[in-house]
Amino acid sequence: MSPWPCAIILAAGQGSRYRQALADDQDKLLAPCVGRDGVLRPVLEQVLVNLPAEVVRRVLVTTPGRPQVVQLGRAYGCQVVVLDSPGMGHSLAAAVAASADANGWVVLLGDMPFILPASVRRVVAGLTEESISVPRLGDDLGHPVGFGRAYAAALQGLSGDRGARCLFAAGKVVEVPLSDPGVVWDVDLPEALVFRDR
């Protein structure tokens, strides 16, 4: 078993705010986006490119009818779980169930294309079997969030659209201070496709 946690990439959300802003049906995960390395790729591919190579085990969760998302996930070594629910809780539970023997989990959102690989490594370095590791940028907590093996049952018990933040209250949370604005930058609206170092 790899000493590195399993990466969970959540790519099941419908992106309704993004679609409304564009007044069309474009999947924001597939929108062209220039990464911090200057290369144009779809949003989701930027997320996958920025995963450190050491994170060998990867589970991507998406919804039916998104063949390009499935293809991208598989191209980057992900086990793809197709789930008929956009709820974050359901997605997390399904991903952890699919990787129940992993040495913990690091959760990334499919619409956060600007997180530096070094930031993922720092979050993982702060993780223990009993802890939750979360990046902090100024006053804000961000992603990715790491969960030690002790949280397997709690993660599998999540449902609906409720994410894992509810586990913070009773968990041992280790905050990792970072200077990477990518950890709080998600693409909810089309203008967020262009990264500006805040």
Q: Can you give the residue range of the structural domain that contains 16? A: 6-186
Nearest to 120 by CA among 108, 138, 128: 108
Band the pLDDT of 134: cuts 50, 70, 90.
Answer: very high
- 21 and 86 Cβ atoms separated by less than 8 Å: no
- 187 and 46 Cβ atoms separated by less than 8 Å: no
Rounded Cα gap, residues 42 and 21, in angstroms: 18
Give mean pLDDT, residues 108-116: 96
Band the pLDDT of 1: cuts 50, 70, 90.
Answer: very low
Give mean pLDDT, residues 116-133: 96
Token pair listed for 118 = 């070094």
Report yes or no on 179 lying in a domain. Answer: yes
CATH of the domain at 113: 3.90.550.10
- 40 and 122 Cβ atoms separated by less than 8 Å: no
Report yes or no on 197 lying in a domain. Answer: no
Cβ neighbour number for residue 159 with a 10 Å cutoff: 13
Report yes or no on 196 lying in a domain. Answer: no
Higher confidence at residue 79 or residue 24?
Answer: 79
- Residue 146 has φ and ψ, to the nearest 5°, of -100, 140
Number of domains observed in the structure of the chain: 1
The SS3 assignment for 132 reads strand
Report yes or no on 191 lying in a domain. Answer: no
How, if at all, do strands 172-177 and 131-137 pair? Answer: parallel
Report yes or no on 145 lying in a domain. Answer: yes
